[in-house]
Structure 1
């Protein structure tokens, strides 16, 4: 019971962080590995997806009610994210991730440096593309990052947010809302694979899903109330923590 309560508390915090800017896995995955140290990694990762997909879906619904999204462009992009997630999960069975593991903290550092250098980036919503062009560019981003999520995973939400801001011209609030939609698709792809192979503790995932949705509700409410500036600040914090975590995993562990 103590282990389950600890996992549920971590899921609450992860849902909050994920709803604002992504990166909930930075909280929940290490917590699961700490609480259940002798369990198979695939089962813990599958259980994480079994809980987090609900919080992400809830955040998507809440954002969609308050933030205007171009569904004609973004719905097809979500389908590309789903395909990318499946392809990435398949590729990881064939190719080692060691090179990407070492490159990731450096890529994240470049993202953080660029964001800090461009003080006005993502503060104003000014989409650069319209119509089919927006669909194609958003779909390309979704396919690439969806593949990354299935193949490796850490920082997926942050990459989505950064690219939607930098490439599509969204502000951080719209980018975070759009990233949630993409994450639902990539999480669904991963979840289906984990479920097919039996790598989910459904009883643990069900409890964590409840607290993850609660955390998502709180995070979405705060992001919508405080706006793009708050989401940008959270983005900087989460990416900074991801740099520390991935750098430790790649070079010091």
Structure 2
């Protein structure tokens, strides 16, 4: 089974790119972030025509998350991260697919640091960690997947010294990412690519993609109960070079049946 995440940076504007990638990569489950479309503007007809069922939580102009599935039913669990009823941003959707819990997330960027946006990011991470711990205690096969807006280690960014006080790389958020791993969550891309510079995002500015001046923001963390099933992982970095592509590239894993 192939499971992927892709920050599309506007689903309707990038729909041809998304459909082309779906046709070529043929993932079974896909988590999307930054739909940037209200609920009623999600292109469900085109997604269905590509062979996928979908659930989504839209928001006008910002955020938005979706889960796509080919060949398996999607049972929605919740479409917001528990713990803050006042949080109206569409950043989290959770479902059960093929007996796995799929948690699709778009974690806040947090910039500028310091400030309210960074505090919101820390509060959001705190709630995510609580849900992640619950899933571990329930001993379920589960996946935390999406755009975390966290650069875990120095190897995950082209010039780490320039990012020390950026909200993507602050020690507080990096520690939180490490804490998830200490609880048993497995960074699937890193564990299969130790010591290798692997990026998932390249800014539109300064010819970043051409220079491979990127960073690793998009992650697929699997629970311990999927560890023995992890087969492969990778980044479809060439998609970033397609015309009118997102500034992110799709990230994927394969699990043994």
TM-score above 0.5, yes or no? no
Of structures 1 and 2, the one with the larger relative CO (CA 8 A, separation 6+) is: 1
**Relative to total residues, which structure has the larger strand share, 1 or 2?**
2
TM-score range, shorter chain: under 0.3
TM-score, normalised with respect to structure 1: 0.25
